[in-house]
Amino acid sequence: MKKFYIGGGFLVILVILWSAYHADVPLELLKEKYTDQYSTFFPFQGMDVHYRDQGEGPPLYLLHGTGASLHTWDVWTQKIVSKGYRVVRLDLPAYGLTGAHPDGDYSPAMYLGLLEALRNHLELDSLVIVGNSFGGFLSWQYAINHSSRVSKMVLLDPSGAPRKDSVNKSSPLIVRLARTKGVGEVLSKFTPRSIIEGNLKEVYYHDSLVAEETIDRYHELSLREGNRKAFIDRVRNPYQATGWEQLSTLEVPTLIMWGEQDEWIPVADAERFHQAIPNSRVLIYPALGHVPMEEDPAGTVDDVLSFISE
């Protein structure tokens, strides 16, 4: 009987592992589902960077956060374009349809080089740069390095404020797991949809707003060939936020938006960014989490439109 229980238990473990295992999904299959008439691919350092360029008028760059894709801005894009603006958004390297960097380079310099190369390619003289989380970090880094190209900046729960605690201690659970030797390697093969669902329910304050379609999209794009390893490689080499002191010299009008219920980056950082950036203002959303533009796209995009139209 004991042998039966042991054998049965082992079988249960095998079934669980089998259900959690997911092979990489070929890029071409994902392209069929996650591209549209606006999708274009820009060659950069051996990658084909997926971006969408929609609308006519003053341009905005929209930069997503860790683990996300350009789809995080879907609702915002429709509204902003309808108001006479041009929206450029992209899948940052390591994410979405863009995928891994061939040399594993996920340094801020690589990302900033991509943003500048794409800006040159699209012949954008000046733009409003908008970023959430890691995309927010890239936004303020871009602004201090290319201030003459940035007319305004919008930061949604941005990362990069200097911290006294260790990088790993202040990081989200999924990031801490990916950084753990052995665990990250398991996650690169065993990525159940439930992990993605749990992660989304961390970044949303209202669990009920996490749509099944949203979970499917995040999960399926995470399975793009090379994306899971790229995610692990990127978070295992955390960027060092330089240039914080330079924010005090930045003259770019800046809107700082923050979900008060953010579990990934403390809302107290909103005031730190406000104090660091002279020409800035802050909007706090009491009932939103880490991704305000997804959780309440209609309300938050109106605030942005009011700001950029001033």
Task: For residue 63, report the phi and psi dihedrals to the nearest 5 degrees.
Answer: -115, 125
Per-residue pLDDT at 195 exceeds 90: no
Residues 52-73 have pLDDT tens digits of 999 999 999 999 999 999 999 9
Tell me, what's the pLDDT at 178?
Answer: 62
Domain that holds residue 105: 27-308
Residue 166 placed within a domain: yes
pTM of the complete model: 0.89
pLDDT category of residue 182 using cuts at 50, 70 and 90: low
Residue 130 placed within a domain: yes
Per-residue pLDDT at 287 exceeds 70: yes
Angle, helix 108-122 to helix 134-145, in steps of 10 degrees? 70
Among 222, 224, 227, 157, smallest CA distance to 194 is for 222
Tell me what percent of the residues of the chain surpass a pLDDT of 70: 83
Q: Domains in the chain: how many in total?
A: 1
Among 82, 80, 89, smallest CA distance to 36 is for 89
Burial class (CB in 10 A: 0-12, 13-18, 19+), 75: middle
Residue 207 placed within a domain: yes
Section 184-210 average pLDDT = 84
Tell me, what's the pLDDT at 2?
Answer: 41
CATH of the domain at 166: 3.40.50.1820
Mean pLDDT of the chain: 88
Tell me, what's the pLDDT at 176?
Answer: 67
β-partners of residue 25 are: 224
The CA–CA distances, whole Å, from 294 to 86, 269, 280 equal: 20, 20, 23
Residues 226-277 have pLDDT tens digits of 888 887 877 777 666 688 999 999 999 999 999 999 999 999 999 999 999 9
Section 303-310 average pLDDT = 98
Any idea which of 141-145, 169-173, 229-233 has the lowest mean pLDDT? 169-173
Tell me what percent of the residues of the chain surpass a pLDDT of 90: 74
pLDDT category of residue 31 using cuts at 50, 70 and 90: very high
Per-residue pLDDT at 183 exceeds 70: no
Q: Which uninterrupted H or E stretch holds 128?
A: strand 127-132
Tell me, what's the pLDDT at 155?
Answer: 99
Give the single-character DSSP code of 180: S
Residue 11 placed within a domain: no
Tell me, what's the pLDDT at 6?
Answer: 42
Residue 154 placed within a domain: yes
**Residue 119, both tokens:** 């800006």
β-partners of residue 59 are: 86
Higher-pLDDT residue of 6 and 81 is 81
Tell me, what's the pLDDT at 35?
Answer: 98
Section 96-114 average pLDDT = 96
Section 117-127 average pLDDT = 97
Tell me, what's the pLDDT at 9?
Answer: 40
Tell me, what's the pLDDT at 236?
Answer: 73
Residue 277 placed within a domain: yes
Per-residue pLDDT at 15 exceeds 60: no
Residue 8 placed within a domain: no
Higher-pLDDT residue of 38 and 11 is 38
Any idea which of 4-8, 147-151, 228-232, 234-238 has the lowest mean pLDDT? 4-8
β-partners of residue 213 are: none
Residue 121 placed within a domain: yes
